[in-house]
Structure 1
Amino acid sequence: MTLRHMRIFVSVFQKNSITKAAQELHLAQPSVSLAIKELEEYYGIRLFDRIGRHIAPTECGEEFYEYAVHIVSLFDEIEKKMRNWDAFGTLRVGASITIGTHILPVLIHRYQEKFQNLTIEVKVSKSSSVEDDLIHSSIDLGLIETQPSHPDLRAVPFMKDSMCAIVPPDHPLISSESVSLAELARFPFLMREKGSAGRELLDAGFSLHQISVRPRWESTSTQAIVKAVAEGLGVAVLPCLLVKKDIEEGTVRQIPLEQPIERDLNIIYHKSKFLTDNMKSFIDLCKKYGKPVD
């Protein structure tokens, strides 16, 4: 089997279509079909089920893809390495929305100063999308607020973030030195949507203390929640990174939590990924950025 067979298979798998793969690879459709047939005959397996005009990967095809996508990716990295990749290539970084908004711009600016000829491509999206991009080898490194859910991804903590309790500027709890989740739960609660990293951490805190909370508001927008708190519609517990500016401007007030809620921010990559020198340098930069100042 050749690298050509692997590239064709990966494209067909990702596009879920022989026609679209042929277009992407600038090949005739029969050539793509033949390459898949040759793979199946060589290994004595069926990679795709044909149902009418549609195809779907078999269980064996799913497992074969895990190998093929990284064989292709590794070859591409060898090519880049041999062409002085670390000086003139491309580093592809994915980040969750929180990190992409508040941390990544500073990291990329500092990194670009060190590697001025390196092209850095950034994709900011949900943590689950960052994981998917790593699995499909469409990015090199990811930065997310949670532990990766996929078993093939490795995580390296690079800094900590805390959750902040915020209330309106004239709220009754303002005079408190600290506040518990139980005390906050007596007031209308405004929360991020289920599935978000901050919401999962907060729900875990409520569960640990056996507190039942029905949110008055749920929103995918942190700023919508902050503005609602500022208008006196309720209280919230949000990542400090996201509300630091609003607290400093006095839009909302912060009250320390009696039991701090912290989380690790992680650099993630695929366990089969070949880490080039510039990728290692980026990981080191992230660690230095997140290291507490003595």
Structure 2
Amino acid sequence: MNIRHLKIFITVADCGKMSEAAEKLFISQPSVSQAIKEIEDYYGVKLFERLSKKLYITDSGKLLLRYARHIVGSFNEMESALKNSGENICLHIGATVTVGTCMLNEIINKFEEENKDISTKIVVNNTNIIENMLLHSDLDIGIVEGKVDDKDLVKIPIYNDRLVLVAGRNHNFYYKDEINIEELTGQDMIFREKGSGARESFDSILEENNISVNEKWNSNNTEAIKNAVIGGQGLGILSTLIIENELKNGTLHIIPIRNIDILREICVVYHKDKFISEHLKKIIECIKCLKKEF
């Protein structure tokens, strides 16, 4: 068995059909079938079940897939590093929305200034998507706020981010100094999308206290959420990192919730099987050094 076998197996797992995998790899379908059979014979396991002309990965297949993605990822990284050893190295970095909005520019600018031979490519999305990209070796590292529970990912905490309830001037909560959690019952809320760290943190608090609110808006754009709250469309849950200007000019007001403090860790995250090159060590150290400045 070799890297070719693993690349074919990963493609079949992603496509769910051998015919689609063959088209994607520009090889014949019998070649794909033969490669899968050779892996199954080699390990004495079944990788896929065929039901209604579709392939479903088995538990053994899922186990192999976790290793295969990172073996192939490390192989591709090695190939790139050796073939381009005299050229610019590129790191693929993922960040969640709050990090991308408030922290990432300073981190990347400082890193690239100190490491002119290394370039970066950035993806900003919600926690679930960044986590999934790390698990699929599409990113080298991520900087995320929110829960990351997958046991295959290593987390290094760098900052404690505070989430707060905010209201615009047109909302009757704007002039409140504090509320009880029960006062949120039935209130219009401007929420982040499912899968975001802020959304999951606040949803868990509502669930714990058996509070039902009205999800009036749902957006993956923090500026849209801020503008909706400022415009009086409802209440929002936002990081203190992204509302500093609005608090200063009074367009937003923080309403503390009695006995509830919403803190979440911002972490550097990478796969436990990821080879931490000298370049990755440099960006991780750069992030750690900057954490006290926010």
Q: Give the TM-score normalised by structure 2.
A: 0.84
| Superposed CA offset, 1:91-143 (max 9, x none) | 11122222223322332222222233333222222211111111111111112
Q: Note if 1:89 corresponds to 2:80.
A: no
Match for residue 67 of structure 1?
67
Match for residue 50 of structure 2?
50
Cα pair 1:74 1:273 within 8 Å, conserved: yes
**What amino acid is aligned across from residue 276 of structure 2 in structure 1?**
L
Q: Note if 1:34 corresponds to 2:14.
A: no
Instruction: Note the residue ranges of structure 2 that are not aligned, 5 or more in a row.
Output: none
Cα pair 1:94 1:139 within 8 Å, conserved: yes
Q: Give the TM-score normalised by structure 1.
A: 0.84
CA distance in 1, matches of 2:194, 2:10: 33
CA distance in 2, matches of 1:51, 1:172: 57
Listed as ranges, the matches of 1:158-169 within 5 Å are 158-169=158-169
Cα pair 2:185 2:213 within 8 Å, conserved: no
Specify the SS of the correspondent of 1:31: helix
Match for residue 113 of structure 1?
113
Shift of 1:290: 1.6
| Superposed CA offset, 1:33-60 (max 9, x none) | 2111211122222212234543222221
Listed as ranges, the matches of 1:1-294 within 5 Å are 1-51=1-51, 53-83=53-83, 88-169=88-169, 178-182=177-181, 185=184, 188-192=187-191, 193-206=193-206, 210=209, 212-215=211-214, 217-220=216-219, 221-255=221-255, 260-292=261-293
CA distance in 2, matches of 1:292, 1:257: 27
**What amino acid is aligned across from residue 126 of structure 1 in structure 2?**
N
Specify the SS of the correspondent of 1:291: helix
In structure 2, do the counterparts of structure 1 residues 79 and 181 end up closer, same or farther at CA, with 3 Å as the change threshold?
farther
CA distance in 2, matches of 1:215, 1:148: 27
CA distance in 1, matches of 2:278, 2:266: 22
Specify the SS of the correspondent of 1:164: strand
Cα pair 2:186 2:212 within 8 Å, conserved: no
**What amino acid is aligned across from residue 184 of structure 2 in structure 1?**
A
In structure 2, do the counterparts of structure 1 residues 243 and 189 end up closer, same or farther at CA, with 3 Å as the change threshold?
farther
In structure 2, do the counterparts of structure 1 residues 85 and 201 end up closer, same or farther at CA, with 3 Å as the change threshold?
farther
CA distance in 2, matches of 1:19, 1:122: 33
Shift of 1:80: 3.6
The share of aligned pairs that are identical, in percent, is: 31
